[in-house]
Structures are given as structure tokens and as C-alpha cells.
Amino acid sequence: MSAVYLPVLGCAAFAANEARWLQKNPGKERLLMQRAVAGIVEATLIQLGRKPRVVLVLAGKGKNGADAILTGCALGGKLIILLADGEPAGELAKAALDKARRKGARVLTWQSKLPTLPEPTVTLDGILGTGFRGTLEPKLRNLLKWSESISGLRVAIDVPSGVSDHRHSPCFRADLTVSIGCLKAPLLLPTVAKSAGRIRVVDIEIPLKTEGQRCATRNALGSLTSPRNARTEKREQGRVLIVGGSRTMPGAVIMNAEAALRSGAGLVTVAVPSAIHAKAALMLPEAMWVPLKLGQTSLPAEVEALAHRVDTVLFGSGLGTNGITLATSTARSISGIAVLDADALNPKVIHDARGAAQRILLPHAGEFLRITGKRATPEAAHLAAKKLRTIIVLKGPLTVVTDGDSLTYIPFGGPVLARGGSGDLLAGIVASVVARRRILKMTPLQATIAAVTWHALAADWLTQHKGETAVRTTQLLDGLSPTLRRR
């Protein structure tokens, strides 16, 4: 059965778990390889956005090389296999190469002078894998150096070749690394992350304990993918209050509101400065809009009363530094769950929100430094969440969610999110899903992880269907529904 979470394990630790499972389940190695290949193909095509014309496989002698060869066969297109160290060893690796030859693959052996090769659409790195120990042989070092000149999408299988539990360079430079079975611990090291590119994890359905550090799978979406109760009504589907915006920064709070609406909240009320109230209300008529007077430093009585009644209050987006007093007033009014973003990520505001049932902080690296004085790392976020008794979503190339007990990596999304407004959409989705936590039968932490995973998967949908460059941030919302409908 597919897991909701997979652990973070070293290469040797995962290999030991896999060996024990295979000992109890003899003859299943080929099945595990099929699952791995299916996951690598899916991740590659999502990133590529089209079928490849030419696939170049850099294949070692072992199982990693077999995975790469079978992935190349499954991707289609013209297949070229470059054997890194001669013919493969082992039954599965030999069978994989035989299959490729039957499909018409061009098979070469690595040497300093190669014939001219067509430019690959995709290059698959299956040279060494997680079984690598010791030091690189000069021949393989030269192959890795030569591979630097290869264009197209560069995909490392399991870990970039040259990476192990104890050695991290030189290694293959990947745009995408697909870790098999679990999230491999070396991929989280800063020295490796630069070469790993985007990280994805394939569940090959080996039961593994997930204690402490872990990564989310698509199954973290949980009951978000289930039909709504036929007799539900809007108040059961989450009541969200959003406070934010300013005359000079109206966009952030509008994106908060649209994301909350698009991600299923039943009732959304937005308190914004009167200067942007009318236009915002016309843009999103599904929400209820409350005007705030210019320079207002506390919530109007009716909004303060609402802050006590709703399931979630999201505040901070687009307030500006002049809005700290308003953010503090809002923080003191919250009885339910407080979601703090952008300008609400201030030590005083966080402290004043301590009366909330739960506080969820959404900092990027700069904001994390501002509220903790520490450099943004998963370990620092874990300690800060424990100290502050909050849930922290540390946004970055590999976003982390932690409550001070568990630490969950979200291995989806990518550079398509590196644009203004991405965090504002995330804040709205988090507020919405957390507001619906009871009907979804989720804890606040589970709901937060589900929301961050959903946001990242929608970003993957955007990458696959529209690309990473010529898009607008709000187009990510178009991926929310297809992501839930995917089977």
C-alpha cells in the first residue's frame, strides 16, 4: 500500500531495508524495479512537458544502470546507451540491456573519443547509484567531466553519480534527481543539493518506519481527494478571515483570497484598506469584503468579533511595515488558528498571537532570519517551532513543514514557484485547508502538510502543461483541481 510519508534514510540504511524486504519476499526485485521506473518516467515527463526526441542513458554495470536503461526504453524516442564500464553484470541489468537492443537502441562504450552524438532531449544518469563506495576511478571521473557538456534535461536516478553517504564530489550535475524508495539523506546536504536539482521521491511500496525526518507523498492530500459530503453546508467547509493589503501593495491580499476560495473554503471574509476595497470586491465577488479606514491600527468591532468566530485567520500579506500595529491588534483577537505571513512575521506579532489555538508561520529565508536571528535551515526551523510552539513552513527549493516534533520535506514544486506572489497563494491555500480540517478529519499539522503539498503539486502541473518561464503566478491555481482529480 502506498504511504503518506516516506522516511529520510542514508543510502546504506535504505539498501539494508530493501535487502530484508526482498529476503521475506523472494522474486520481487523485478517488481520493485518496475515501480521505480514508472516513477522516474512520470517525474521526467512532468518536468519535460513533452515526449523526448532523443534519450541518452549513461549506464553503469549494476541495478542503477538497469533502472536508467529501462527508463530510457519507457520514455520512447531515439535511445542511445553509453556503457560507463563495459557490459552490465547481474541478471536484471543484462535483461534491461537486451530489451533496449531489441528496441533498436544504439549501444556504445565510454572512451575518450566518441562518435558525434545527436543532442539529447533527456540524459539519464545511471552510472553509480547508491551502492557507490570509495573513490571515483579516473575513467568515471573523466566521464562525469565529459557529461558536463551535455545539454537537455539531466536526470539523476536515486542520487547523482559520485554521491554516497560519505562522499559528495565530484558528481553528476542534475536538473532533476529521482530518489527511489525514500528520500536519501545525502541529497539534503548543501554540497549535494547544488548538483541534485529538483528532488522527487518514488514510493516502491517497501514498508518503512517514518520517525523524525520524513517526506510527504501525494497521499498526504488525504481526504482532499474525496467527494464532499452530500449534505454539507458552507460553514462546515471552513470560515476564513483574511486581514492584509495596503494602498501600494493590493495584490498580495487579493491572491490570498483567490487561493482560499479556489482551494475550497466555504466562507471567506477579507478586511482591506478602503482605498482598494471596491476594486477588490469586484474582482472576487464570492468573498465578503470589509473596508478598513486609512491608517487604522485596530480591527473594527465587527471584524474583531469575527476573528473570534472563524476557523482560521490569515494576516500579514501586503500590510507593509506600517501595518505592524494592525497586525498586533489582529493577533490578539484570534481564538482559532492563526496563519502568519509576510509582514505579520514579526517577533512581537507572533508573541501576541499566543492566544490562538495554533499558530502557523510561513517564512522564507529572510523572514526566518528576522523572527529567529538564525540562518534558515531545516534544523533551525525544527528548533524554532519547538521553542515557539508553532507550526513552521520554511519555504525554499525543498520546503519543510515542522511542528518541533516531526520534520516533513515536500519533494514537489520547483523553480516555477520562484516568482512574486507564490507565497501569497500558499498562504491562502494553507488557511483554507486548515479551516476545513475537522470535516477533512485532519490535525492542524496534517492539514498544513496537505496544503503545502497541494500547492507544490499544482506547481508541477503548471510546469508540465505551461512550462516554468512564460507563466503568471496565479496560473498555479488552475492546477489545483487537476491535481485532486489525478488517480
* pLDDT exceeds 90 at position 112: no
As a whole number, mean pLDDT of residues 61-80 equals 95
Predicted confidence band of residue 55 (pLDDT cuts 50, 70, 90): very high
CA distances from residue 321 to 106, 241, 292, 295, 343 in whole angstroms, order as listed: 61, 21, 17, 12, 6
Domains of the chain: 5-211 (3.40.50.10260), 230-485 (3.40.1190.20)
Number of Cβ within 10 Å of residue 14's Cβ equals 24
Phi-psi sector, 129: left (phi>0), alpha (psi -120 to 50), beta = left
* pLDDT exceeds 80 at position 388: yes
As a whole number, mean pLDDT of residues 364-389 equals 97
Predicted confidence band of residue 170 (pLDDT cuts 50, 70, 90): confident
User: In whole numbers, what is the pLDDT of the chain averaged over residues?
Assistant: 94
Predicted confidence band of residue 24 (pLDDT cuts 50, 70, 90): very high
State the Cα–Cα distance between residues 326 and 232, nearest whole angstrom: 35
* pLDDT exceeds 80 at position 475: yes
> Tens of pLDDT along 284-305?
999 999 999 877 788 889 999 9
> Tens of pLDDT along 229-283?
889 999 999 999 999 999 889 999 999 999 999 999 999 999 999 999 999 999 9
* pLDDT exceeds 70 at position 165: yes
The pLDDT value given to residue 321:
78
The pLDDT value given to residue 487:
58
Selection from 293, 290, 334 nearest residue 312 by Cα: 334
The pLDDT value given to residue 1:
58
Contact 203, 3 (CB under 8 A): yes
The pLDDT value given to residue 89:
85
* pLDDT exceeds 90 at position 217: yes
Strand partners, 391: 360
As a whole number, mean pLDDT of residues 76-103 equals 93
Look up residue 51 and give its three cell numbers. Answer: 515526449
* pLDDT exceeds 90 at position 377: yes
The residue with greater pLDDT, 474 or 90, is 474
Among 11-20, 318-327, 467-476, which is the least confidently predicted range?
318-327
Eight-state DSSP code of residue 295: T
As a whole number, mean pLDDT of residues 161-165 equals 91
Contact 188, 177 (CB under 8 A): no
Q: Is the pTM value of this prediction over 0.85?
A: yes
Predicted confidence band of residue 130 (pLDDT cuts 50, 70, 90): confident
Contact 349, 327 (CB under 8 A): yes
